[in-house]
Chain A
Amino acid sequence: MSSGDGSSYSSSKISKKPRYSRFTQQELPACKPILTPGLVITILISLAIIFIPIGLSSLSASQNVVEVVDRYDDVCVPLKPSNSVEQNDERIGFIQDVKTNKTCIRTFIVPKKMKHPIFVYYQLDNFYQNHRRYVKSRSDHQLWSPKDERNTKLCEPEAVNSDNKPIVPCGLIAWSLFNDTYSFSINNTPLTINKKGIAWTSDRTKKFGPNVYPKNFQTGGLIGGAKLNESIPLSEQEDLIVWMRTAALPSFRKLYGKIETDLEANEKITVVIQNNYNTYSFNGRKKLVISTATWIGGKNDFLGKMYITVGATSLFLAVIFLLLYVIKPRPLGDPTYLSWNRNPTFQY
């Protein structure tokens, strides 16, 4: 048509010969890798060469980690472990009662020499810190700036107290702050636990405001966990900061503190636990973990084993492939293997 018809290019518009370029003719220089037997064997063997040493070293690193895990939730209640509903209710009653003495003393022997820093964790099992209701229930704005104190929309049902005053820090996460405490001693000598620097610096400096102080916290009808000292700004409340970095999985550890001295093998450690935190209402487990760390992290053999498996498999496959190549060789690019040459009766 005489006017511009965008939908079709009339031949009159582009009647000239397309300009030659290697791009438009699809002739750009290219690398054409082909999986030749040599290449395949090289790849597989080099995978093995990379993976097996890494696997071995991470496995040995993991083996070198000294870790003591002590589950105490079931022993630190006066009732014998049982699964009956009534007993569980009694446990809940025990843990919810503010007046009862919840002190619990645990001892364990250091199995091997533990070099500092030694990390003290508490581990909760079956606690869904990644539950949708839970992860959403916080207000990052409120945590950072006193101005946004009333920005508690996401924090329901722990947004405001009965007087309609905003709770700082609001939300279920803060409300359920873990509140068991541990004090360590070796042979009656107290062992200091450094609780500074357990939270991420980035969180302390950018997410939790230095001018934000706890307000109206844990004043409601149901106490979820720890109370906070209202004179310390949130940026200094490292336990809270650690707690509020929600865990990925329902079974998680949180850093409680660090022991800055070495522990010798066979030393007997006594821990006085204030067993406050209610995990009985959802069959959760509480564990105290003392662990050293290596470059691979804590005690976890999985990665090492996986690397060794992958490496070994590669090696195995390389051998199989080599055998295959020897037993049943096929010249590369031999036109006699083309289907129409191989099978003359082949009809399209």
Chain B
Amino acid sequence: MISVCELLRMVDLEIMASQVTTASTINSLPLLPYYRSASLILVGNLKSLSAALKSSSRMESDSPIEINENSYQVHDFIWHSSSQRSVSSIQSIQSKTSRGHSVKEVSYGELGSKGVRHGSMGAESEAFSASYKEINDDDARLIYINDPEKTNEKFEFAGNSIRTGKYSILTFFPRNLFEQFHRVAYIYFLVIAILNQLPQLAVFGRGASIMPLAFVLLVTAIKDAYEDYRRHRSDKIENGRLAWVLVNEQFRQIRWKDIRVGEIIKVSLNETLPCDMVLLSTSDTTGVAYVQTTNLDGESNLKTRYAKQETQMKNLEDKKISGLIKCEKPNRNIYGFQANMDIDGKHISLGPSNIILRGCELKNTDWAIGVAVYAGRETKAMLNNSGAPSKRSRLETHMNREIIFLSIFLVVLCMIVSVCHGLWLGRHKDELELMQFYRKKDYSETEIEDYSYFGVGMEIFIVFLMSVIVFQIMIPISLYISMELVRVGQAFFMIRDNQMYDEASKSRFQCRALNINEDLGQIKYVFSDKTGTLTENKMEFQCASIGGVDHSRGEDSIEDERTGYPDQGDGHVLQPKMKVKVDQELLNLSKRKHTDEGKYVHDFFIALAACNTIVPLTVETSDPAVKWIDYQGESPDEQALVYAAAAYGFMLIERTSGHIVIDIQGKRQKFNVLGLHEFDSDRKRMSVILGCPDKTVKVFIKGADTSMFSIIDRSLNLNMLKATEAHLHAYSSKGLRTLVVGMRELSSSEFEQWQSSYETASTALMGRASLLRKVANNIEHHLSILGASGIEDKLQQGVPEAIESLRTAGIKVWVLTGDKQETAISIGYSSKLLTNQMTQIVINNNSTECCRKSLQDALAMCKNLTTDSDATSGGSGTGGNQLALIIDGTSLVYVLDTELEQQLFELARRCTVVLCCRVAPLQKAGIVALMKKRTDDMTLAIGDGANDVSMIQMADVGIGISGQEGRQAVMASDFAMGQFRFLVPLLLVHGHWNYQRMSYMILYNFYRNAVFVLVLFWYVLFTSFTLTTAITDWSSVLYSVLYTSVPTIVVGILDKHLSRTSLLKYPQLYGAGQRQESYNGKLFWATMLDTLWQSIAAFFIPLLAYWRSDVDGSSIGDLWTLGAVIMVNVHLAMDVTRWYWITHAAIWGSIIATFICVMVIDLLSFLAGYWAFFHIAKTELFWLCLLGITIGALVPRFVVKVFVERLRPNDIQIVREAEKFRSSRESQIEMNQIFDPSRR
């Protein structure tokens, strides 16, 4: 680092004269505006957020009021337009202004319910007008610097100890129970258990009736307790970490948990921040601190934070510092902070760039001192510590419908029983008194009265309740638990799938939402982001058009050997970290500075090197003589440009407050950064005003072509302009991302005028952002064009193949991108999304009427096409008449949320491919919502950036790509993975399996519970409807939790009807899920019919076999229990398609376990059924009954299964057969493995 004095000396005195008088005024920190690319103009994304963080107070004037809400408001816009929590809407903006600092959180749910206009782009500009407001005292938190006692007088601020654990040992049971009973199913359980405790209703023994609930609660509690234990353990470690805190004017080490708000904390290099603190000073003289926010948002690049100059200058250890910080109440917005600081009589305003958050790591800075403002659970990191949003799977929604049927069925059964009981009582009214088995009267008392008889009406009611208790498992509550377990198991396999492991980013597949695994098997629409999702988001500088000359890399391009222009300044050779291929011709040209062409090239590369927000860092290498320059920046485009500039000999070496150093062809030159207009989505460009070494002042601008061509002076060099335009078109047709670079030299009067208005604007209290924008617009005009750059964003590996597979699988892939139409189309071609056979419909309008017309035309055309093809080729959809719809964001504004939506939907449904370009984040969500609202088809959104968050949350399944752009998308997603192509194994293989497994499991669980209930019901008909059960209480309780539960879970996790190879070979098989083949109403009713038959077989075979014999209730009860359990398990065994040893163990083990349990129950002499099993098992009749039940019950199912498979085989069945009998190579190998004993 160059010292501040040196720095000052280099500042051009002529310009900065008024400001260099005191050192304290130098706070002209580098403005690091965000500029991502021309093509993502409408997209406020995460990078902009961080850029906003970086941009600090720009100029320090004499005025003590320093205002930096400029950046804050830029942030606001971005926050509202792109962040997941504040999905931008006018409502949210309004509430923002009305509530001052508080962050309005618009949740996903609100988005859906309030009918937010997705098409609205007005919201963005509204955000800019959100004016700066002083923080109300009511809403503020007052922090007295270095005076924690006074700060926290009312004990209202949290200490720094964190507790992510939900429970303590004392509160565990009440709280955990309370939380568990939030589920309706558990309430049902509880009500039944309570009913059973009433003496009149006690059907089951006390213990037996509580057991299912207790079991479920216990399992969940153990799971929760274990998770909580892990959290407690990590909390303890976290709380016990040490930090340096200023105590009695001396820094002492105290534990994190003892840090209080208001205390002054010192953090050293590579240490983690213990709490959110406002920076007071850093080891850097200019007050810069670099932090890494990997823990917070996953971004690994360094971010800059600044200490205020007023506090930076203080020596904190010697002089007791005091002051007051007034800041907003704790909130979740990690990219926003608003505060004022009163220190030494000065009123300073603080922004997001002055605060470092808990969890960040200090980098490249020896130490930083700050005052704790939020501690413990009130830190932004902790407030953001919430899980993924929960969605409910389609299958589960359908399942709930069937559960309602089952409930009705349950009520009907209970009504039958109670009404029959009433009739029976009525018929035997006169006999009840003497009936030996009823004995209505109690004679033991002197006064003879009714014993336990409350009249027919009451008896009916009691019997009704009792029958609910007996038949309770008709509602398969264990199913919910089983489903959770199965999903955990499925997630285990998905996470551990080697084929979904990304070597490049070393990231495994992540399941963030555990309840929509099976939705992956039913996807019909995939909405994909382009940049970073289809492409790698690793930008590579490909070509440039400089001064109207195209410098596309030809065949003669050479690899830059990094010998380019080494810097020998301090004995080291500096090399850029990344290699860039250079064009030899251009390289030569860049060295000829004095030709006209050379001049353009020179300025062009200066613009690339200077007009950005990149921070160069030197990195040691293994070779002591060589140091690498690593360009840290948020935008891959800018990185690519700077690396390119470096390769051509314009190496950005240093960026500090107020100046940058560029090594030009081996010669270091210093440029003063006089001003910087950040990127914003209105202007779609950024500009930097440089004081050049030759004492000229130049403004360099780079931006999107649309915005740049409007401000370029067309009178200057029309031919060059035309040539550049042509080149730009060529570049974007090749799929390159383009940027236009322009420049203008400022006259001194012009500069002074700009400077004064810039100062006024940046110190304005109201509407500063718009003022600054106006200032920028005033200076950004009459540019002379320097050229344009083309950056390639490479397609990710395997993307075309993946898209091909998805399309064969019947999934429609839509690409929603912020890129230009040409770029989008060319990427469409290269990713095989678009083919030459397709008819393209382009909608590109800017009024409602135009949109209406083009939509109508398009619809008419596509109807024509389909009817034509129907007439000619019998509607061969795979033929040449596929349609591709290309629509841009501007048109969508007029379409979404209007009556045209329906037309768009009609049109889009007919198209094989839809490309939406230039769409804003909210429009992405709007498009997803469009399809979701109007079809029942499942939607999946995949993206990697913050701009995809709203779309990811809107879709039924959201997938985040953990790539270059931070973790916002991942945090909002349900699943996260490293590459787009993993979508294929995820959907076609795991999704397919999960769907099929889960569907089968749900149907099977309905069956297994209903069959048992029906067996109980049939018996009730033989007990004068009094709900005696021959099956013991314990068996009826254990039936659903032990006797039959394990196999279904195992099969739900492990069974797969097709191998991975086949599923990938025939993507069409995915259609089974889309058509809901494995779970639908028809299958449900068929299953129920089967259930009815099986229950009849299981009940009546023993009944008739033991009719009029001396069999006792317990013995035949055991027979019924075992018969039902064996039948149910063999039923499952019949449907298992793959027998692993685990499956064998589970199914046969369950049957054996049932036998053991029945024996154990019959060994308890205090139960009625003592020894019954051993008694009845001695007879042959018992075993014949068991065999008879199993076969008799299952023969119909077997026959139907066989005939369906034979006569109307579905695709899955055929491929299964092919897998086994058509000896393909893969299956051969598989077979060999199976029969190779050494590998078992």
Whether A203 and B234, one on each chain, are in contact in the complex, defined by CB atoms closer than 8 angstroms, is no
CB B495 to nearest CB in A, in angstroms, measures: 7
- How far is it, in angstroms, between the C-alpha of A29 and the C-alpha of B493 when the chains are bound? 16
Note all chain B residues with C-beta closer than 8 A to A245: 1112, 1114
Chain A, 108-146, CB within 8 A of any chain B CB: 121, 123, 127-135, 140-141, 144
Note all chain A residues with C-beta closer than 8 A to B1211: 338-340
How would you classify the secondary structure of chain A's contact residues: helix, strand, loop or mixed? loop
The verdict on A345 contacting chain B, using a C-beta distance below 8 Å, is yes
Which of A18, A34, A325 is the one whose CB lies under 8 Å from B1216? A34
Chain B, 774-792, CB within 8 A of any chain A CB: none
Whether A282 and B1199, one on each chain, are in contact in the complex, defined by CB atoms closer than 8 angstroms, is no
Closest to A225 in B: B436
- How far is it, in angstroms, between the C-alpha of A140 and the C-alpha of B1165 when the chains are bound? 9
Whether A47 and B1234, one on each chain, are in contact in the complex, defined by CB atoms closer than 8 angstroms, is no
Whether B1023 and A51, one on each chain, are in contact in the complex, defined by CB atoms closer than 8 angstroms, is no
Note all chain A residues with C-beta closer than 8 A to B868: none
Which of B234, B501, B512, B1188 is the one whose CB lies under 8 Å from A306? B1188
Note all chain B residues with C-beta closer than 8 A to A34: 1216-1217, 1220
Q: State whether A338 and B1112 are in contact (beta carbons under 8 Å apart), knowing that A92-B434, A222-B443, A303-B1105 are contacts in the complex.
A: no
Whether A29 and B359, one on each chain, are in contact in the complex, defined by CB atoms closer than 8 angstroms, is no
- How far is it, in angstroms, between the C-alpha of A56 and the C-alpha of B209 when the chains are bound? 44
The verdict on B1110 contacting chain A, using a C-beta distance below 8 Å, is yes
Whether B452 and A47, one on each chain, are in contact in the complex, defined by CB atoms closer than 8 angstroms, is no
Whether B358 and A2, one on each chain, are in contact in the complex, defined by CB atoms closer than 8 angstroms, is yes
Whether B1028 and A29, one on each chain, are in contact in the complex, defined by CB atoms closer than 8 angstroms, is no
Note all chain B residues with C-beta closer than 8 A to A156: 442, 451-452
Contact stretch, chosen from A76-84, A183-191, A307-315? A307-315
Interface string of B426-459 (1 = CB under 8 A from A): 0010010011111101111110100110000000
The verdict on B1201 contacting chain A, using a C-beta distance below 8 Å, is yes
CB B973 to nearest CB in A, in angstroms, measures: 11
Tier of interface size on chain A: 35 or more
The verdict on B21 contacting chain A, using a C-beta distance below 8 Å, is no
Whether A202 and B498, one on each chain, are in contact in the complex, defined by CB atoms closer than 8 angstroms, is no
The verdict on A246 contacting chain B, using a C-beta distance below 8 Å, is yes
Whether A300 and B436, one on each chain, are in contact in the complex, defined by CB atoms closer than 8 angstroms, is no
Closest to B1180 in A: A295
Note all chain A residues with C-beta closer than 8 A to B1068: 338-340, 348
Whether A310 and B1110, one on each chain, are in contact in the complex, defined by CB atoms closer than 8 angstroms, is no
Most buried by B among A3, A26, A207, A310: A3
Contact stretch, chosen from B89-97, B609-617, B870-878? B870-878
Whether A303 and B1184, one on each chain, are in contact in the complex, defined by CB atoms closer than 8 angstroms, is yes
- How far is it, in angstroms, between the C-alpha of A54 and the C-alpha of B1187 when the chains are bound? 11
Whether A302 and B1107, one on each chain, are in contact in the complex, defined by CB atoms closer than 8 angstroms, is yes
Closest to B1068 in A: A340
The verdict on B397 contacting chain A, using a C-beta distance below 8 Å, is no
Closest to A339 in B: B1211
Note all chain A residues with C-beta closer than 8 A to B358: 2
The verdict on B1146 contacting chain A, using a C-beta distance below 8 Å, is no
CB B1216 to nearest CB in A, in angstroms, measures: 6
Interface string of A320-335 (1 = CB under 8 A from B): 0100110010101111
Note all chain A residues with C-beta closer than 8 A to B235: 3-4
Note all chain A residues with C-beta closer than 8 A to B1024: 128, 131, 250
Whether B164 and A4, one on each chain, are in contact in the complex, defined by CB atoms closer than 8 angstroms, is yes
Note all chain A residues with C-beta closer than 8 A to B272: 2
The verdict on B716 contacting chain A, using a C-beta distance below 8 Å, is no
Note all chain A residues with C-beta closer than 8 A to B1101: 303, 306
CB B361 to nearest CB in A, in angstroms, measures: 9
Whether A131 and B1112, one on each chain, are in contact in the complex, defined by CB atoms closer than 8 angstroms, is no
The verdict on B155 contacting chain A, using a C-beta distance below 8 Å, is no
The verdict on B1207 contacting chain A, using a C-beta distance below 8 Å, is yes
The verdict on A275 contacting chain B, using a C-beta distance below 8 Å, is no
Contact stretch, chosen from B382-390, B895-903, B915-923, B949-957? B382-390
Q: State whether A157 and B443 are in contact (beta carbons under 8 Å apart), knowing that A176-B436, A333-B1217 are contacts in the complex.
A: yes
Q: State whether A337 and B506 are in contact (beta carbons under 8 Å apart), knowing that A11-B962, A31-B1139, A344-B876 are contacts in the complex.
A: no
CB B428 to nearest CB in A, in angstroms, measures: 7
Whether B1138 and A31, one on each chain, are in contact in the complex, defined by CB atoms closer than 8 angstroms, is yes
- How many of B's residues come within 8 Å of A, CB to CB? 142
Closest to B1024 in A: A128
Which of B451, B503, B1219, B1234 is the one whose CB lies under 8 Å from A29? B1234
- How far is it, in angstroms, between the C-alpha of A47 and the C-alpha of B435 when the chains are bound? 47
- How far is it, in angstroms, between the C-alpha of A337 and the C-alpha of B515 when the chains are bound? 35
Whether A207 and B1170, one on each chain, are in contact in the complex, defined by CB atoms closer than 8 angstroms, is yes
Contact stretch, chosen from B110-118, B225-233, B566-574? B225-233
Closest to A198 in B: B1110
- How far is it, in angstroms, between the C-alpha of A60 and the C-alpha of B386 when the chains are bound? 73
Which of B507, B1056, B1060, B1179 is the one whose CB lies under 8 Å from A297? B1179
Chain A, 31-55, CB within 8 A of any chain B CB: 31-35, 37, 40, 43, 47, 51, 54
Note all chain A residues with C-beta closer than 8 A to B503: 17
Whether A4 and B233, one on each chain, are in contact in the complex, defined by CB atoms closer than 8 angstroms, is yes
Chain A, 151-173, CB within 8 A of any chain B CB: 156-162, 172
Note all chain A residues with C-beta closer than 8 A to B1180: 295-296
Whether B437 and A127, one on each chain, are in contact in the complex, defined by CB atoms closer than 8 angstroms, is yes
- How far is it, in angstroms, between the C-alpha of A203 and the C-alpha of B506 when the chains are bound? 68
- How far is it, in angstroms, between the C-alpha of A28 and the C-alpha of B1165 when the chains are bound? 45
Note all chain A residues with C-beta closer than 8 A to B1206: 37, 321, 324-325, 330
The verdict on B1109 contacting chain A, using a C-beta distance below 8 Å, is yes
Closest to A221 in B: B443
Whether B437 and A11, one on each chain, are in contact in the complex, defined by CB atoms closer than 8 angstroms, is no
Which of A9, A206, A306 is the one whose CB lies under 8 Å from B1165? A206
The verdict on B1094 contacting chain A, using a C-beta distance below 8 Å, is no
Closest to A334 in B: B1214
The verdict on B1115 contacting chain A, using a C-beta distance below 8 Å, is yes
The verdict on A252 contacting chain B, using a C-beta distance below 8 Å, is yes
Which of A6, A30, A127, A203 is the one whose CB lies under 8 Å from B231? A6
- How far is it, in angstroms, between the C-alpha of A225 and the C-alpha of B1060 when the chains are bound? 72
Q: State whether A338 and B438 are in contact (beta carbons under 8 Å apart), knowing that A3-B162, A133-B1026 are contacts in the complex.
A: no
Q: State whether A131 and B434 are in contact (beta carbons under 8 Å apart), knowing that A14-B508, A200-B1171, A253-B1108 are contacts in the complex.
A: no
The verdict on A347 contacting chain B, using a C-beta distance below 8 Å, is yes
The verdict on A248 contacting chain B, using a C-beta distance below 8 Å, is yes
CB A299 to nearest CB in B, in angstroms, measures: 9
Note all chain A residues with C-beta closer than 8 A to B445: 162
Closest to B1179 in A: A297
CB B576 to nearest CB in A, in angstroms, measures: 27
The verdict on B730 contacting chain A, using a C-beta distance below 8 Å, is no
Whether B437 and A172, one on each chain, are in contact in the complex, defined by CB atoms closer than 8 angstroms, is yes
Note all chain A residues with C-beta closer than 8 A to B1230: 27
Note all chain B residues with C-beta closer than 8 A to A258: none
Q: Give 25 pairs: A residue, B residue, CB < 8 Å, sorted on A.
A: A1-B295, A2-B238, A2-B358, A11-B505, A11-B510, A17-B503, A18-B498, A18-B501, A134-B437, A134-B438, A172-B437, A200-B1175, A206-B1170, A222-B434, A222-B439, A245-B1112, A248-B1117, A250-B1023, A252-B1111, A253-B1110, A297-B1106, A332-B1218, A333-B1215, A340-B1211, A348-B1068
Chain B residues at the A interface, C-beta cutoff of 8 Å: 162, 164, 227-228, 230-231, 233-235, 238, 272, 294-296, 358-359, 381-382, 384-388, 428, 431, 434-439, 441-446, 448, 451-452, 492-493, 495-498, 501, 503, 505-508, 510, 512, 809-810, 874-878, 962, 970, 976, 1022-1024, 1026-1028, 1030, 1054, 1056, 1060, 1066, 1068, 1071, 1074, 1101, 1103-1117, 1137-1142, 1165-1168, 1170-1171, 1174-1175, 1179-1181, 1184-1185, 1188, 1191-1192, 1195, 1198-1199, 1201-1203, 1205-1207, 1209-1211, 1214-1222, 1230, 1233-1234, 1239-1240
Q: Lowest 5 CB-CB distances: which A-B pairs, in order? A: A348-B810, A4-B234, A333-B1218, A333-B1217, A176-B436
Given contacts A28-B1142, A337-B1209, 17 further A-B contacts (CB under 8 A): A20-B498, A43-B1198, A127-B437, A128-B1024, A130-B1026, A131-B1024, A133-B452, A133-B1026, A135-B1028, A202-B1171, A206-B1170, A207-B1165, A249-B1022, A249-B1103, A251-B1107, A278-B434, A282-B436
